[in-house]
Each structure stands twice: as structure tokens, then as C-alpha cells.
Structure 1
Amino acid sequence: MRTVGVEEEMLLVDIRDGRAQSVQGQVVLRPALGEMTLAAQGDEGALEGEFQQEQLETHTAPVHLMADLEDQVRHWRREADAAARQAHCRVAALASPPLPTGPTPAAGERYQRIRERYQLVAREQLSCGLHIHVSIESDEEAVGVLDRIRSWLPVLLALSANSPFTDGEDSGFQSWRSQVMRAWPSSGPTPLTGSARAYHQLVRDMTASTVLLDEGMVYFDARLSQRYPTVEIRSPDVCLRVDDTVVLAALARGLVETAAAEWAAGHPAPEVSTIMVGLASFQASRHGMTGDLLDPLTFRPRSAWEVVDALLEWIRPALQANGDWPRVEAGLERIRAEGSGADVQRTTFDRTGQLVDVVAQAVRLTAGQE
């Protein structure tokens, strides 16, 4: 059974006015160079700084069982919130700040170089994603997986959508974060490469162009991790609810298991245009689970939940083999009944008319209090 770990980026907020707070430097411990340093670390994960002072990031350790992943996600959210309280704020698993925020840059030489290179793109970047790491046996297997899951990643984005508000207004998108991320030069669908050699050559060419600062700035929706022997799926928004994070992780592992088996059996990867995958991502970003998605097989509009059913049909054997099927089935039924994070945020705003209430509820849901 493959291991799974997640990274959750979250906002530091003041629940009195709902605004993101630039207090990361008070929450995490930073040595002289100030790069991604730790507020807490252990065998079960870590709590770190992120690109802007209004953010934190948690890491879980790799695990086999989704029950263990749930325990770790809850643990590190508690650790993050406890650390934030020391700076008189709270943690919110929101993929974009609902209220206007002028991001404050985090310390560190690399971050400074990114700001100098990318200017307003970097200065305005304040979004929070969910990154899911699934273990792989080799780079060849990993590229075989990437080539076969790329068309399905917009479905994960739709299920995770959690950023409808930005700068004090409704963006009209379920996931505004995914639109913000498109400003980076290397973001978007993972290209079809066919082999580890071709993938690595592409990354070398991208960095040799000097448009990218380094290989760490390859922001494909899924990529080979630089730090771990994993495929790193980066398309989802950070999720409001712990349960949704775990469901997304289980789906991601099911995708990787299924794609790896097809690669090992010699089944060819679908030769789908990167442009069409990009259109599917836009559709998922715009509508989430509230309308049509693009069917990953035909790239024609289809009811979002019918597309989810098609995904489940493909990966169900892997979900059952891993023991994840009951959790996924129950979790998707909950999303269908209660909506994604974006739906929850809009429902709260419709009820109260106050974005501060949206943020306050997000703090409670992040902490597992609702």
C-alpha cells in the first residue's frame, strides 16, 4: 500500500475583523537565514512558515491508513492554531483571504529573489493550497502516473473548491485561488512527457530559460516532488474541513494506484491536449461542484457528480484494496449534501451579509469545532 502525506497552507487571521494578519514571524521560529523554518517538528510532521507573513503551512508524515492521516491533520491544525494564538490570532483553512489584504513578504533570501523576479505577481500572491504526496517506486513510474492522471485533476479541484471571495467581494468563482496561481509562469496542467528522461529534460530546460528561479518553481498541477519519493498533487484548494482533506488524499492515492497499474500493464496514456486539460481546470475553478465539469474522457460538459461517478468507477478497485472506499463514499455524500468549502462560505455570507462571519466560521471548522 502506498503512503500518503499532505501539506496544508492556511491563513493567519484576526477573528474580530476577519482580516489576514502578518504575524508569521511571531509564530514560527526563524534562524538567521529565515527560510521555511519550524515552529514545531516531530516524527509526525511539521509546522512551517510560508511565502507571505499571513500564512502557515503544516506537513504530515507519510502514513498508510487514512485514519492515521486524519489524526495527523487534526493534530497539526491544533498545533498551528495554538501557535497562532500566541500571536493573538487564529488559523483559517481558507484558500484565499475574503477581506482585503496587502500581503507582507516573509523573510528569506530565496523569497526575496522571487519577489524581485516576479514583481506584482509575487507581491499580490496570497493563496492556500492542499498538496498531496503519494509514494512512488521510481521516476519512470511517477511519470507514467502523471501522464495518466492529468485529465482527472480538475475533478479534485472542483471537490476542494474553497476560495469564492477575494478582496472583499465575490469573485464569481468557486476556486479563485486556482486563477491566482495561473499568474506564475510554470503553473497549470502537467504536460504529457512519456518518460522520466523527457520530464527531467523539460524541467532542466525550464530552469535554463532563467524564467524560473529554480526547479522548486515548477508549479505544475502535479509533479515529481523534489524532496520526497512521491508524486505531488497540487491542484486542490486547502479544504475547510479535515474530513474533506482526507477524502481528497484517498482519491489522490486511488488515482496514483490505478494509473501506476495501467502504466505497468503497458496501457498507453491518453494523448490529451494540455490546452483541453486547462479548459477543464478553468471550468472546475469557475463552477466547482455546482454545475457542469468537462468530462475527462470526452471534454464535453457533463454534470459534476456524473464526472465524479466516472472517476470512482475508474479507481474504485484501488480504493477498495486500500480500505478507503467507505470513507470516500461517506465523504462525497457529505460534500454533496453540505457543499464544498466555497458553498459553505457563500451560505454563511448569504445568511449574515458579513465576511467577518465567513472567516469566523472558517476558524471554527479549521479547528474542528463545527
Structure 2
Amino acid sequence: MNALYENIRIGRHTLRNRLVMAPMTRSRADDTSGTPSSLAVQYYAQRADAGLIITEGTFPSPMGKGYVRTPGIHSAAQIEAWKRVTDAVHARGGLIFLQLMHCGRVSHPDLLPGHATPVAPSAIAAAGKVFTASGAQDFVVPRALETEEIPGIVEDYRRATRHALEAGFDGVELHAASGYLPEQFLSSGTNQRTDRYGGSLANRARFVLEVLTAMADEAGSDRVGIKIAPEMGFNSVSDASPQETYQYLVQRLAVLKPAYLHVARTQSTFNYRALLQPLFDGALLYGGGLNKERAQSLIVEGEADAAVFGSLYLANPDLLQRFLTGASLNMLERDTFYSDGPNGYIDYPILENAR
């Protein structure tokens, strides 16, 4: 049997194949309530043949929101809406983890309660623009968090993990990449604090490790994963010594024993997967521009335990079936990535024998 289609144990769960649907922001949630729409039920259920689905980034608290029409997991209404998603995925035999994403400085007062200023480790603005209901706007200078505020944000992640389990999710993933709040703390270019959360590498990694500990305490470490993307540079995040930083972080993860480490390939010429894999005892999920052949090779050679697909799953709800049969793949509609409504979301063609 092809290695992609073999099952694998990851933490508490056994995946029925090694295809993982990547977390992808799609901006279809209700912008006022932060509830995923009824369209999301069909969207995720269509892709339930994946060994594991990781949802779009979901804010753990109102101050974590960073994009228009993205979902949360802090209210009763959001929990109930997500239950409909998890029920639909489970009805098709799928597994689904919720990705927790606090955007930190990558936000705007128009997106936050009371027109609040975004928070971050340090008062350093991200370069570029943020998309709000009224269009693209420049990032603002964030407010540096006070030391005594940070445990409250850690508790937000703990509570969000509890809510995810109440909503029926099989586990949770911490988004510690793409320049969002955990990576803002971790990276020297965005963290210029002088308290216990800044300065030394141990201090800069403290927030990520405290959050992951809180999530593991709530769900069990075998239902928790973490995503990293060293040197991605997204949202203008940077670090002076990224190889040292991520080596340190992954070594400290060994104590927590999360179910998996999700590494996203970046434009860096350095092979972070090769550096980090020997340091981590759990499953390694690897993705970023993979095709079927490259994914197969990674798994056969023992360079990854599962392959993460983003745009291919976006355009091909029946990706597993297309891989199995050698059928052609759907063309990607980039202009509907973040638009509202069903177009480019739930209307990609599905093979007749996969219906």
C-alpha cells in the first residue's frame, strides 16, 4: 500500500491516512458574532476523508481577532455553531482539531471590542495593512502587555481549549507561526521586553510554553499540537538567531509531549525539518507546497509522519480520492479565498465516485 494511505497513531488518535488538511483562513464566519456559518459545516464535511482536519485559525478571546469574518471559540453561540461542524465531520468518520490563533499586533481597533488597541509583547507595529470590514488599513502601533496581564491571556487559551472539547473537537493546535502573538513573544525582532517574558531565549519562549502547558493540562498533551514556521517572515516577524530559537523551543517541548509538531516549509534555504525532527518524540506533520509525489517521498524516507496540504484541499474536497485514482486536480480560484458566500468555498467539483 502507498505510504500516504496507511493509518498512523498521532497522540490519542489513529489517523486513517496520512493526509492532513492545513488550517486556512477563509473569512466566512459572521463578523459580529464570530460564529462559523452553516456553509462551514458543508465545507469541512466535504473534506472529512482527510486523516486529520485542522481548522482555520480561531480566536480564543475577543482581543485575539485579527481578520474580518473569522470565527472565535469564546462564546456559547460559537461553541454551538462549531458543534454542527464537528458532528458533520464525525458523521463521515473524520477527525478534526481546532487551531487557536491569537493575532496580537496583527489586528486593528476596527476588529476589536470597544475599538481597543491591539496587544503585543512590545509596542512595535507590523509592516503592511490589515483587512477590516471597511477595507485595508495600516497596522497600528500595538499596546505592550503589562506583565500581570499575560497570565490572563494564557488562561484564555486554556478556556478556549475547554470550549473546543465541549464543541466536539478531537484536539487543538496552537498557532505559533505566521507572526501572531506566540511568535511575537518568541522572536527577538518583535519582543524587546525586559521582564520575565523578554530578553533571553528562555524568557522569550516562556509564553509559548506556558500556553501549550495550559492547553495540555485541559485536553491532555496527546490531544494538543503546535504549528511553527521558522523564518517565514509573515507579518514582518523576525528573529536574530532563528535556528537557535527553534532548536531551544522544540527541545523544551519534549517535557510537554504534545501529540505532534506541525512544521510549515518556508522560503528559508535552511532545512529546519532535519534540525528539529530528531529533537521531537511525537509525530512530525510537514507541509508547504507539497504535491502527491513529494508527500509520498517524505513519508517513505521517514522525514515526516503525515503530509499537510493547504491549497490542494481548498480546491479538491475529495483530494484523497483524486490521489487514489490519479484523477486530475481542480484549478484554484484565488479571487475567492477570502470572499463571503459559497463561491470558491463549497462548490468545487467532487468526483462522482466520491459523493
Asked if TM exceeds 0.5, the reply is no
Q: Whose RCO is larger (CA < 8 A, sep 6+)?
A: 1
- How high is the TM-score relative to the length of structure 2? 0.31
- How high is the TM-score relative to the length of structure 1? 0.30
Q: Greater helix percent: which structure? A: 1
